[in-house]
Chains A and B, each alone.
Chain A
Amino acid sequence: MTKRVHVETRINGREVDFLCEPGQSLLEVLRDQLHLTGAKEGCNNGNCGACTVILDGRIVDSCLVLAPEVEGREVTTIEGLAGPEHLHPLQQQFLEHAALQCGICTPGLIMAAKGLLDQNPAPTEEEIRLWLAGNLCRCTGYDKIIRAVQAAAQQMEARV
């Protein structure tokens, strides 16, 4: 039996601690131990982006982060985006623009898009396409996703 590691971190603004195997991924711990199943597993090797979360302000594939690495850091998952009575503009615009069909890629795409808008509030279509290229969607052909991100950017601009 490998010795388990105790990890203290912040997830979605709250202090969290857990025990994990040293080689376990952040994705596994989020899903199987913390029951945050919003991050999805599409490939488990960094190729699809379905597991995207924000780690200290940068988007990462949580399947390519070891759980012990998040000691003392700040993780945001899709579950941390909406308030009790309102959705994040990205979530709202994904709905308005029918930017999801099956929806399995959606949490990862919304987290990736959030990472973009946090640092570039008014991206061009080309910038959005480049930024989201690590997130595969097989259902939509990306068209409506790009439009939803543009609309969310506008909605967020209008609010500030």
Chain B
Amino acid sequence: MGQAKQYLRPSSIDEAVRALAAANGGGRALAGGTDIIVDVREGRRQVDLLVDLKAIPELTAIDVDGAGGARIGAATPCYRIAEDTRLRRAYPGLVDAASLIGGVQIQSRASLGGNICTSSPAADSAPILIALGATCVIAGPTGERRLPVEQFFTGPRQNVLQDGEIVVAIELPPPVPRSGSAYLRFIPRNEMDIAVVGAGVWIRLDGETIAEARVGLGAVAPTPLLVVEAGRALAGKPATRETFEAAAEAARAAAKPISDMRGSDRQRIHLAGVITRRAIETAVQRARESQS
């Protein structure tokens, strides 16, 4: 059982980055704390300094600008994302994921930044952020950089962040007409479980033909995946069960899971197909219903 020795609550990104950089590897960001507090307590991480990001205004702001897309502060708690009607309309798949993470108590605190920075292969926000073409905005001692979410993860619980770097925000491209998104996961209980498999899907329709599609998969590989083949299996095809099955097959083929107490490799490969197909069905339905 461990404990952090110091707690800081900076009010600017600069201050946060400086403090983390100065901690020589002993510092970590603190957003909702739903991962890091447990990790430190259970000795999975040694941390001297925790830098609370929630007093930095940009880190908890949600900006939705019709034409320019949306920008979600990395430390914004999930419940604010789930309750945001603008986000719900434009990025329903993201709202699916934000309202699935943990129970209500966890959602009061858990953030997208924390979710991707823990970099669990099963992180619920990752597949849908990948499918939506989201970008992480990263600030560090040497300035700011941007990276598509699918390039953020480098291994189980590993990512591209360097010492002193934090994720400032997640940026989402502007919504396009007749598009829809969905995130679906499988868990053994109905709540309070970690995904055995998760699938995020974004789709754009042209009539009843799928014009474009992106599929993200979670918990089937060392990192969340962008399944390019599944997107390809959908693009240019009619929105029919056969097409969805073909994409599901591509998802199964892309799944290279391990067996652990949360699920076996066989079960995960099977579920990758089922969950992907079901997520596609919902995304297509939403695209059909989308206003513009």
- List CB contacts (< 8 Å) of B32-70 with chain A: 32-34, 37-38, 40-42, 50, 52, 54
Would you call A64 and B109 a contact (CB within 8 A)?
yes
Q: Which 3 A-B pairs have the closest CB atoms?
A: A134-B103, A23-B3, A133-B191
Interface membership of B183, Cβ < 8 A: no
Compute the total of residue contacts between A and B using a CB distance below 8 Å.
Answer: 93
Partner of A61 from the list B9, B40, B41, B106 (CB cut-off 8 Å) is B106
Q: Are A65 and B50 in contact (CB under 8 A)?
A: no
Interface size classification for chain A: 20 to 34
User: Would you call A69 an interface residue if the criterion is a C-beta within 8 Å of the partner chain's C-beta atoms?
Assistant: yes
A47-87 contacts to B (CB < 8 Å): 47, 49, 52, 55, 58-61, 63-66, 68-69, 71
Q: A23-B40, A44-B41, A45-B41 are in contact. Are A134 and B5 (CB under 8 A)?
A: no
Contact of B30 among A25, A45, A47, A66 (CB under 8 A): A66
Report Cα–Cα, A49/B105, bound state, in Å.
8
B7: chain A residues at CB < 8 Å are: 5, 22-23, 66, 68-69
* Contact call B103/A133, Cβ cutoff below 8 A: yes
- A123 sits at the interface (CB 8 A): no
Known A5-B7, A52-B105, A64-B32; 9 more pairs at CB < 8 Å: A2-B6, A44-B41, A46-B38, A59-B105, A61-B106, A68-B9, A112-B104, A133-B191, A134-B192
A24: Cβ under 8 A from any B Cβ: yes
Asked whether A160 is an interface residue with its Cβ less than 8 Å from the other chain, the reply is: no
Chain B residues near A5 (CB-CB < 8 A) = 7
Nearest-Cβ distance from residue A80 to partner chain B, whole angstroms: 18
Residue of A nearest to B38 (CB): A45
Q: Is A8 interfacial (CB-CB < 8 Å)?
A: no
A64 lies within 8 A of B34 (CB): yes
The answer, among A63, A65, A69, A134, for a CB contact under 8 Å with B102, is A134
CA distance A1 to B204 in the complex (A): 58
Contact B52 A59 (CB under 8 A): no
Q: Are B50 and A60 in contact (CB under 8 A)?
A: no
Considering the complex, give the chain A residue whose CB is closest to the CB of B6.
A22
Q: Are A23 and B5 in contact (CB under 8 A)?
A: yes
Tell me the minimal C-beta distance from A45 to chain B in angstroms: 5
A102 contacts the other chain (CB 8 A): no
Question: Measured between C-beta atoms, what is the minimum distance from A61 to chain B in Å?
Answer: 5
Query: Among A3, A44, A66, A131, which residue has the most Cβ atoms of chain B within 10 A?
Result: A66
Q: Which of B11-38 contact A (CB under 8 A)?
A: 30, 32-34, 37-38
Q: Are A47 and B79 in contact (CB under 8 A)?
A: no
- CB–CB A133/B33 < 8 A: no
Q: For the complex formed, measure the closest distance between the CB of A141 and the CB atoms of chain B, giving whole angstroms.
A: 15
A-B contact pairs, 16 of them (CB 8 A): A2-B3, A5-B7, A22-B4, A23-B3, A23-B4, A45-B41, A49-B105, A58-B79, A58-B108, A66-B30, A66-B37, A69-B33, A69-B52, A69-B54, A112-B105, A116-B104
Is B291 part of the contact surface with A, judged by Cβ < 8 Å? Answer: no
Interface pair A131/B104, CB less than 8 Å apart: yes
Closest-CB distance, B241 to chain A (whole angstroms):
29
- Which B residues lie within 8 Å of A2 (CB)? 3, 5-6
CB closest chain-A residue, reference B47: A23
A residues near B34, Cβ cutoff 8 Å: 46, 64
Find chain A residues with CB under 8 A from B105 CB. Answer: 46, 49, 52, 59-61, 64, 112, 134
A130 to B82, CA, bound (A): 14
Q: Please indicate the chain A residues that have their CB under 8 angstroms from the CB of B38 in the complex.
A: 45-46, 64
Residues of B within 8 A of A130 (CB): 191
Q: Does A107 contact B (CB under 8 A)?
A: no
| Residue among B32, B38, B79 facing the most chain A CB atoms (10 A cut-off) | B38
Known A44-B41, A65-B109; judge A59-B104 contact (CB<8 A): yes
| A60 in contact with B109 (CB, 8 Å) | yes
